[in-house]
Amino acid sequence: MREMFYKFSEQTVYLRYHASVKAMPHNKLQVFCNVDYDTEIAVIALTGEPGEEEVVGVARYMTDPAKKSAEVAFVVADSYQRKGLGSYLFERLVEIAKEEGITHFFAYVLVENSGMLKIFHRSGLHIETTNEENVVHVEMTLPD
């Protein structure tokens, strides 16, 4: 995860974290790596030979206290963007969420993050968006 972060372009970091993050120290990284699988799920995409894998994508959701809706976020390594990996990771999150009884996803996406917005709009889910300054709040209804 750390290696993937340090290979991100400045634009990828900004679009994912909504800020110019220059470092990913161990304590911050632990927040992304320690997943409880009760209130959050993380799915990763790997490439490379066994034992020498490289993380090239991460998708996750974090549920609300009632476990009926969840905030979703994901990031894909620059060299794997625009190849369908983000869509695939999102589809996997939708499948898992449906199995867990989650009925809604939401996300906060920067207006200029057209790639992520396209993934949501092409997903086949019912989408509602509202804009607040430079952030798009996306509400998605998962199918039964």
For residue 116, which amino acid is it? M
Residue 112 lies in a domain: no
Residue pair 140/106 in contact by the 8 Å Cβ criterion: yes
The list of the chain residues with pLDDT below 50 reads: none
pLDDT in tens, 73-91: 999 999 999 999 999 999 9
Q: What is the CATH number of the domain that holds 54?
A: 3.40.630.30
Task: Look at residue 94 in the predicted model and tell me its pLDDT.
Answer: 97
Work out the number of other CB atoms within 10 angstroms of the CB of residue 78: 14
Structure tokens at 27: 């304590």
Taking alpha carbons only, the member of 31, 43, 101 closest to residue 72 is 43
Cα angle 67-56-87, degrees, rounded to a multiple of 5: 55
Range of the domain at 90: 2-102
Residue 144 lies in a domain: no
Which residues, including other chains, have CB under 8 Å from residue 52's CB and lie 6 or more apart?
Answer: none
Residue 127 lies in a domain: no
Residue pair 68/62 in contact by the 8 Å Cβ criterion: no
Number of domains in the chain: 1
Task: Look at residue 33 in the predicted model and tell me its pLDDT.
Answer: 63
Task: Look at residue 44 in the predicted model and tell me its pLDDT.
Answer: 92
CA dihedral 1, 83, 134, 105 (to 10 degrees): -70
